[in-house]
Structures are given as C-alpha cells and as structure tokens.
Structure 1
Amino acid sequence: MKFVTTHGEIILKLYDETPLHRDNFVRIVRDSVLDGVLFHRVIEEFMIQGGDTDSKNAQPGDTLGNADLPYTVAAEIRPDLFHKKGVLAAARGNTPDRVSSSTQFYIVQGKILNDSLLDRAETRINGWLAEYYVKREPEHQAKLDSLKTAIDEEDMDTFAKLNAEFEALAKDYEGFEIYRIPEAHREVYRTLGGTPHLDQNYTVFGEVISGLSVVDAIAGVDTDSRDRPLRDVRILKAEVLE
C-alpha cells in the first residue's frame, strides 16, 4: 500500500491477522475512495488521522471527522498488535461494539515513554476495557439497548447520560481479566515509542515500512484549535502495491 501525500510517500503493509480490515482497505483504495482526502486531524506525539470522505473538497474552517462510507467494519482487536510508532489503525466512534469506520484511519506517531507513563497508560486501557465488558453484562442489556438507540437517533443528551452511567458502573467493575502491557511491548514503547493507551480498544491492522519521516513531518505541521492543519495535508493518490 502506498500513500502519495503532499509531504512525500508512505509505504504500508497490511496485516493478515486482521483480514476484514485488510480487505476493506484494499477495496477502498482500489475504488479511489482515499484519493484526495485530507489528514484532517493531526496531533504531534500522538497520531495523524485521515479518511473523511467529505474532506476532499473541504473549505478552510469546515468541521471534519464525521464522514465515511455507510457501513462499519467489525472489530479485530488482537493482543499481539499494539500502538507502536508507525502502525495503521482504524478510527471509530464511541460505540459499544467498537466497530471501525469504513474509511477513517490513523497512523501513530506517538512518543517514547518510561515505565511510569506506561503504567498510567495501562490504567487507561483497563478503564476502557471495564466499560466495554460492563456493557455486556445481561443485567445492563436494557440500558445498552437504550444507548444504541440514542446513537442511532443522534440523541446526544441521552447518549451522554447513559454513557456517564456506564462509566460509573465501570469504576468498580471486576468482571474481566486486567490487561498488562507485555514486557516486549513495553520495550518497544521505551525505545521506538508509540501511543499505548489505545491498546486493546482500537483495531490495529497495518504498519508503515517506509516513510516514517513523512509521518513525523505531517505530525509537526501547524494546526487550528480543532487539530486540523492550517495548510491542507492531502493524500494525492493511494495505491495497492502488488
């Protein structure tokens, strides 16, 4: 996979361990869905995000980040795939089933972390996992159904209320195995860097094999208060490399 961007070329490989995301990404690239889209959300030492289908013709000041194709991709979260620098991962909304956007993705820049920061990331990971698993308890099915309805109807007030209730339930929830960042992953985060607090909550499905300097250059551009680059950073052409 190759992205020809306004800042240079990025070559990526897609993981066979995540076939739904692999096949979807190949399909949208072959269909030219990503040609011309912006990296519309850029945060230095975190990630660069693109794939909003409305961004191709966006004007300065337009709000971006809400458009994709009208389907989602089932989560493929694997314990051995983690958010080291350069990985390709799927963006998603705050949905109970953690399904991925059909087109929006991010590439991790991240930063180098020490063990204290990794411990803090571990706490955040488990907080999100607690919310995920508590929503699956049979006793909370009615509340979960109401949450899904609020999402479908874009009723943000009800969504915020129910989500806060689940967050409160998750604080004392112990019905899942606490996640520990493996030592092998910690060593990568201590040397190469990354964004560990996203682990086990978003689908990682590929990585940059050439062009990390381009990722760094994009991550370093000036942005506005909504993290959109002040000067457009665009994927001019996305190609599948046979």
Structure 2
Amino acid sequence: MKLLTWQGGILLALLISSCGRPVARFSLESTQQRVLQPIPFDNKSEKAVRYEWDFGDGKTAEAESPEHRYKASGAYTVTLTAYNEKGKARKASQTIEVAPPKACLVEIETELGSMIVELYDATPQHQDNFTKLAEEHYFDSLLFHRVINNFMIQGGDPQSKGAPGGQALGSGGPGYTLPAEFVDSLVHVKGALAAARTGDAVNPAKRSSGSQFYIVHGQQLTEDMLNRIEAQKGIRYTTDQREMYLELGGTPFLDREYTVFGRVIEGLDVIDRLASVPTDRRDRPQNDLRMKIRLIR
C-alpha cells in the first residue's frame, strides 16, 4: 500500500477537521405566524453541544429548542448558531412572517409587569380614542395615580407626568369627554378596563373621561351578592357573566354606571401586584407607578 505524501496528509487532516464541525438546522410548523402566538422551534442540529438563537426582534435564547412569540407583526429573520465542544460554529437562518392580531390589543407596561389588553369592538368610540392616544404616546410616563386594593387601579391623568409626591391628581384630561357606551355583555369582572368619569351631579349623561381609565381588581363575590346587585339595578346577568364574577371577582355595582371598553387577557397577576402597593391618604402609591402603552399590531 502506497504511503500518503505529506501534502495528502494535510488534505486528509483538513477533511477530518471539516467533518467535525457542527451542523446547524432547525424547523417550525409554518413560516406564517401571528402576533403573540407561541412558536416552538424544533432544533435538528448535529454534532453540537451549545446553541444561540437570535429571533430578529432583539430577543435571544440559549435553549436547545426554545419557544418564542412576537409582539409586533412583520418579517423576522431567525438565526440559530450551533457550537460543538471545541467552540466551532455553524449558522442557519429562516425568515418568519408574523401577521397582526385578529383582535385590537394593547400592552400596558409597568415596572411590576406587563398586561395584554383587548379593546372591544362593541365600544368603538372608546376603542378608537384609546388607540389614538396610545399611538401618540400620550400615556407614556403617566402614573397609576389612584390605587385601591380589592377595587381598582386608575391612571391616565396627563397632570401626573412628573407630578411631585403629595400632589393631588385625577382631574386632568385631553380637553374632551366621550359619550357613554354601555353594553350589557360587558361587565366589571377582574381585569375589566373601563373609563373614569366625573360624578352624576355634574355629569348626568355619564360621559367618560377622554383619557383616564381604571382596571378592575375587585373582590370575591357570592350568588347572594350578585342577586342583590340585580335587584338594585334591575338587571339580569347571564350564566356566563355570573360564572365569571364568581370565579374572578369584580365590582358589579359599577355595571352600567361606567363604560367598560376592554379587558386584561394576560397579566391578571400584575393587577394583584399593582393593587397591593402602599398608598398615601389620597390612594396615590407612595412610590410612583409609571405606565407605557403601545398598540400590538
């Protein structure tokens, strides 16, 4: 058998080294996805021991087969870098098209967590107004200036931006109000988003504030409590509404008094954290709770 020349030996060593490199490969069920939809990535890499994922939206991961979701529509290039034991790397990329959500959604960010809120089509004037203000970044850096545990958290007063501690808040707005949009199917269960307003004495039409809103924290309810509310208000809750109230709690005495125009669909635990912060005698949190609101689209 002929011995390898020194040139052939070098070539063979290079081939062996090349074959030892990892293979980066991954798949997903579809490259057509939707905002907030969890997307599992199936890692099919070979000869790799470590992984780095770049999802194209500023987020990364090191799990072998991670799950990710996008909070905005658009085209994203996902890149997987696979490393072998010697640190050699290979990359694989795919482009994902993420479609907007089917419902009108916003994200309310706070230092205690974020909430995803659906704005109802059944209250179009409130929906349009809230999305307009969010697009204008009207709410950014405003405070949740009124917090009452087992009741609600309230914000949206433009005078709260930069307000010093102890300043009375709650009278500011954009200079207009909205007509009430009472919808029988929309009630004050925990997580309900509703418009604040001035009292009946000066506002018999129950018009809503142009910017101030509250999110229901609420209390636990019983059948007897709901029966009393029905008798007092002359209303009748559906079976589904009663079940939601009994399961989640809420503030049913506010039904048909204030316009409910949305609901927290993710982040009920964040409401619990916000509602439990220490407050002063005016129900203003002792430490400022700032918000940032953006459309999910």
Q: Same fold (TM over 0.5)?
A: yes
2:128 to 23, 42, 64: 23
Q: What is the one-letter code of the residue matched to 1:207?
A: R
Please state if 1:185 is matched with 2:241: yes
Q: What is the one-letter code of the residue matched to 2:137?
A: S
Instruction: Tell me which residue corresponds to 2:153.
Output: 48
1:197 to 250, 253, 278: 253
User: Cα deviations across residues 58-85 of structure 1 (Å, max 9, x unaligned)?
Assistant: 1111000000110011110000100011
RMSD: 1.2
- 1:74-113 to 2 correspondences below 5 Å: 74-94=179-199, 95-113=203-221
Contact 1:110 1:193 in 2 (8 A): yes
Identity across aligned pairs (percent)?
Answer: 48
Q: Which runs of 5+ in 1 are unaligned?
A: 127-177
Aligned pair count?
Answer: 189
Contact 1:122 1:197 in 2 (8 A): no
Instruction: Tell me which residue corresponds to 2:296.
Output: 241
Secondary structure of the 2:296 match is: coil
State the Cα distance separating 1:199 from its structure 2 match: 0.6
Secondary structure of the 1:208 match is: strand
1 or 2, which has the higher strand percentage? Answer: 2
CA distance in 2, matches of 1:180, 1:123: 8
Instruction: Tell me which residue corresponds to 1:165.
Output: none
Larger Rg: 2
Instruction: Tell me which residue corresponds to 1:159.
Output: none
State the Cα distance separating 1:183 from its structure 2 match: 3.4
Please state if 1:68 is matched with 2:68: no
User: Cα deviations across residues 186-213 of structure 1 (Å, max 9, x unaligned)?
Assistant: 2211111111110111111111111111
CA distance in 1, matches of 2:128, 2:185: 20
Higher RCO, Cα 8 Å, sep 6+: 1
CA distance in 2, matches of 1:25, 1:98: 18
CA distance in 2, matches of 1:109, 1:123: 23
Q: What is the one-letter code of the residue matched to 1:184?
A: D
CA distance in 1, matches of 2:242, 2:270: 25
TM-score computed with the length of structure 1 as normaliser: 0.75
Q: Which runs of 5+ in 2 are unaligned?
A: 1-105
Instruction: Tell me which residue corresponds to 1:218.
Output: 274
Contact 1:9 1:211 in 2 (8 A): yes
Please state if 1:12 is matched with 2:120: no
Secondary structure of the 1:214 match is: helix
Secondary structure of the 1:218 match is: helix
1 or 2, which has the higher helix percentage? Answer: 1
CA distance in 2, matches of 1:188, 1:210: 15
CA distance in 2, matches of 1:206, 1:226: 26
CA distance in 2, matches of 1:183, 1:99: 29
Please state if 1:229 is matched with 2:277: no
Instruction: Tell me which residue corresponds to 1:145.
Output: none
CA distance in 2, matches of 1:34, 1:120: 37
